[in-house]
Structure 1
Amino acid sequence: MSTPTRRSLREQGASVGVPARPRDAPVPSGSTRGARRGIGRVLADILLWVAAIAGVVCMVLVMLAPTVNITLIMFRTGSMSPTIPAGSVAVVQEVPASEIEVGDVVTVDRAGDLPVTHRVTSIAPGASDAERVITMRGDANAGDDPYPYTVQTVRVVLFSVPGIATVIVAMGNPYVLGGLTIAATTLVVWAFWPRSAASRRRSASEEPG
């Protein structure tokens, strides 16, 4: 059985009385406009799905924060490069110090200073069963941090995403938030705005009878 070609399909249409459009006949402008509208609507649907997925991810993170102690941290420096370069965002979970192991990348809070996120190089018992004394080192550093850390809990890095810290910081800018809100509202209104009666009649006339 031979595969129907464009020419054979055209000849079949002529044999049943369907007029074939001349090859050089102009394409109706209405069909071009309809194609453009169709492409625009597909792009709008894609953007809406992306926005919906991003919203779901944000809601999941908000729910996880109080339930399983999962939060986000941003890396301003490159002390953990190349494993976690500057500008990355990491998902961290608070765990008891007794659960960490040498080689884990953890965040330790420091009184009066910013938290530090480095790799654990040694672990020693503390004054209590829940306490540990750990030393840490950034992957880009030649030596351990200047002093050990006495901790009962730490935030262990589960995974990191490079290059999105600037995006998250920008999201906190009121002007950026306002622009995104206006853009999202415009997109939703445009995607779901009912078409006029003239547009519906034109679309119906372009459909094959």
Structure 2
Amino acid sequence: MSAPTRRSLREQATVDDASASPAPAAASSRGTLGRALADVLLWLAAAAGVICIVLVIVAFTANITLIMFRTGSMAPTIPAGSVAVVQSVPASEVQVGDVVTVDRAGDLPVTHRITSIAPGASADERVITMRGDANAADDPYPYTVQTVRIVLFSIPGIATVIVAMGDPYVLGGLTIGATVLVVWAFWPRSRKESREQIDPAGVDR
């Protein structure tokens, strides 16, 4: 029997490397998939942050706020548990049929539909009567106002979500989750992971 030559030893080593390559390739594929998922989540978080900033700017400049409905006095138009987006406007701009929020001294604001409008003591003042869509009669007394908050639109069923977002435990969990995601995405890769990104020909994938 002849002794193995250097060429045969190199060919055997190449065969052994080829048979052992699937495991590192699979590990590299899993790592690439994980990082791709992290990138997608980071982009989504960044987009959500930009949207929140834009909404805050719009709300501040356009006098827009949110109103949560605890009762069903405006059902079925605005059921209990809904959140309405409202904008502060002069009382002189509203009309009968508009749904508005009126602030009351020493009491919670009321959001009902306008049933009548009368002039007030000044050019900017109006005396309005209102009624909830689910109520059989107008509110007990009229409201003298110079500004009101008119309902632009409402979203049913999300009041509980907004309330939950203000919970310290929920906020803490979201903060921790975001921190973990950012650390995981930007954590320096090991030398082994870096080598796995380069093919045998030395070309970066």
Q: Which residue of 2 aligns with 1:50?
A: 44
**Where do 4+ consecutive residues of structure 1 move more than 4 Å?**
206-209
Q: Which residue of 1 aligns with 2:8?
A: none
Closer, same or farther: CA 90–206 of 1 in aligned 2, 3 Å? farther
Gaps of 5+ in 2: 1-18
Q: Which residue of 2 aligns with 1:140?
A: 134
Displacement after TM superposition at 1:32 (Å): 3.1
Percent of counterpart pairs with the same letter? 74
Closer, same or farther: CA 44–163 of 1 in aligned 2, 3 Å? farther
Q: Which residue of 1 aligns with 2:195?
A: 201
Hey, what's the Cα distance between the residues in 2 that align with 1:43 and 1:200? 18
Closer, same or farther: CA 108–207 of 1 in aligned 2, 3 Å? farther
Displacement after TM superposition at 1:171 (Å): 2.1
- Kept in 1: contact 2:28–2:193 (CA 8 A): no
Structure 1, residues 152-200: CA drift from partner, whole Å, max 9, x if none?
1001111222222222222222222111111101111111222211012
1:108 aligns with 2:106: no
- Kept in 2: contact 1:106–1:154 (CA 8 A): yes
Structure 1, residues 133-153: CA drift from partner, whole Å, max 9, x if none?
112222222332222211110
Matched letter for residue 188 of structure 2: P
1:147 is paired with a residue whose SS is coil
- Two-structure CA RMSD over aligned residues (Å): 2.5
1:32 to 20, 26, 34: 26
2:193 is paired with a residue whose SS is helix
Larger radius of gyration: 2
Q: Which residue of 1 aligns with 2:10?
A: none
- Kept in 2: contact 1:72–1:92 (CA 8 A): yes
Hey, what's the Cα distance between the residues in 2 that align with 1:141 and 1:46? 49
1:122 to 97, 116, 138: 116
Structure 1, residues 11-30: CA drift from partner, whole Å, max 9, x if none?
xxxxxxxxxxxxxx999233
TM-score (norm 2): 0.78
Compare 179-188 and 67-76 and name the one that shifted more.
67-76
2:183 to 189, 198, 205: 189
Matched letter for residue 160 of structure 1: S
Compare 195-204 and 55-64 and name the one that shifted more.
55-64
Hey, what's the Cα distance between the residues in 2 that align with 1:66 and 1:160? 19
Aligned residues: 185
- Kept in 2: contact 1:30–1:206 (CA 8 A): no
Q: Which residue of 2 aligns with 1:161?
A: 155
Closer, same or farther: CA 194–47 of 1 in aligned 2, 3 Å? same
Hey, what's the Cα distance between the residues in 1 that align with 2:177 and 2:201? 33
Structure 1, residues 65-124: CA drift from partner, whole Å, max 9, x if none?
442211122122222223222222222111100001112111100111110111212211
TM-score (norm 1): 0.77
Matched letter for residue 54 of structure 2: V
Hey, what's the Cα distance between the residues in 2 that align with 1:147 and 1:207? 85
Closer, same or farther: CA 204–90 of 1 in aligned 2, 3 Å? same
Structure 1, residues 50-76: CA drift from partner, whole Å, max 9, x if none?
322332233233323442211122122
Q: Which residue of 2 aligns with 1:149?
A: 143
